[in-house]
Amino acid sequence: MVLANLGREDALAVRFVGVQSRNGIGVETKGRGRMSWILIDSDLTESARRESLYNGTLFLTTPTPATKALCDLAWEMIEDAFGDVDPHEAQDALPVEEFSNVIGPLKTNFTHEARSKEAITAMLIEFGCDPEETYFDIPRLRVVTHSNYLTAGLGYAYQPHRDIWYAAPPCQVNWWLPINSIGLASALAFHPQWWSNPVPNTSSGFDTYEWNATGRADAAKHVKTDTRNHPVPSEEIDLSDDIRIVGQPASTLMFSGAHLHSTVPNTSGRTRFSIDFRTINLSDLVNRVGAVEIDDGSTGTTARDFLRLTDRSQLPEDVVALYDVGSTHSGPLVFDPSVVS
């Protein structure tokens, strides 16, 4: 492990096998089957950043005006939804069914809100993305409760997975923003030892059009348990060598959809609220540029879910067809975001 101390004391907390550092600007992680970098406030061009992301680099950007605006909008909607109850402590005051009844409409409203998409557009332009070439999917508001209060359905705690197991294109970039302060006990966990090592998994049984028809639409029905067909490792794997990156509120974590990552069991005593969405680049799609797929067996493609920044148009169907393989399911080709998982 190499830490480059460039003086940003409050930007980052990183855990490497239980070791925490708060002074790294560039962090190189090495181990069995992996080599990943964490770059903070990188000055790479947008195209160079995408190339680096496809090779496993994680990017953390400290808060910007556009990311603060997006998180402020989300927090305003969260406070309105919970009324007089502190959202961070609402789970201590409400039965889980009532809590779920609050966050269901909240998550849907945030996704549908025109200001959410406008804020994301402004953010991506601020980050240097070409608005003609960049497509984004619907924003998601994540609510991760503590102490196993709600780990299913609308509060599903994701097991280790790659987004490509959910039929995402290999050039997908994930964007993740904590709305409020988080810590190592409520962050995302990355498992870079599996970046170039196949993970036995159940993605061969996952079809994105079937998921559109049932898995996403049924999220709110799952409160105590979650029996939906999430693709997961099919046998126990070593997850001890994980990385957790803790940025400030409204910081942005970017990573490839091919990274194995998971939800850290929240033991912080506070509900975590975060935003995530995904982008793909048209030229990279056409040229089949992206991360290497080493263990994905899913069918169909999520490419139709993405909208161009400039005019909210979908990808050309001939481009989608490059990735739409294997599906025999007759479910919806495009997710209806009236219910957000």
Is residue 11 over pLDDT 90? no
pLDDT score recorded for residue 4: 30
Mean per-residue pLDDT for 102-120? 95
Label residue 228 by pLDDT band (50, 70, 90): low
Is residue 220 over pLDDT 60? no
Q: 3-7, 153-157, 174-178 — which is least confidently predicted?
A: 3-7
| Number of helices followed by number of strands (H, E) in the chain | 8, 15
Q: Which has the higher per-residue pLDDT, 226 or 311?
A: 311
With b for 16 or more beta-carbon neighbours within 10 A and e for fewer, the 132-145 pattern comes to ebbbbbbbbbbbbb
Instruction: Considering only the C-alpha atoms of the chain, give the largest distance between any 2 of them, rounded to a whole number of Å.
Output: 55
- What is the rounded distance in angstroms from the CA atom of residue 169 to the CA atom of residue 163? 9
The first and second tokens of residue 150, run together, are 């709600």
At 329, give phi and psi (nearest 5°). Answer: -90, 145
Mean per-residue pLDDT for 107-136? 97
What is the H or E stretch that residue 273 is in?
Answer: strand 272-281
- What end-to-end distance do the CA atoms of the chain give, in Å? 36
pLDDT score recorded for residue 240: 86
Over the stretch 40-98, which tens digit does the pLDDT of each residue have? 999 999 999 999 999 999 999 999 999 999 999 999 999 999 999 999 999 999 998 99
> What does pLDDT average to over the chain?
86
Is residue 29 over pLDDT 60? no
Contact predicate 49/248, CB 8 Å: no
Label residue 211 by pLDDT band (50, 70, 90): confident
pLDDT score recorded for residue 216: 56
Q: Which residue has the tokens 């409050």?
A: 10
Q: Which has the higher per-residue pLDDT, 21 or 210?
A: 210
Q: Which has the higher per-residue pLDDT, 220 or 261?
A: 261
Please report the domains of the chain, with CATH numbers, ordered by start residue: 2-320 (2.60.120)
Q: 24-38, 99-113, 159-173, 282-296 — which is least confidently predicted?
A: 24-38
Residue in 315, 196, 188, 204 with CA at minimum distance from that of residue 258: 196
Q: What is the pTM (predicted TM-score) of this model?
A: 0.88
Is residue 24 over pLDDT 50? no
Mean per-residue pLDDT for 184-195? 94
E strands in 41-89: 58-61
Partners of 36 in beta bridges: 29
Over the stretch 128-174, which tens digit does the pLDDT of each residue have? 999 999 999 999 999 999 988 876 545 567 789 999 999 999 999 99
pLDDT score recorded for residue 37: 84
Q: How many Cβ atoms sit within 10 Å of the Cβ of residue 192?
A: 25
* 112: Cβ contacts below 8 Å, ≥ 6 apart: 337, 338
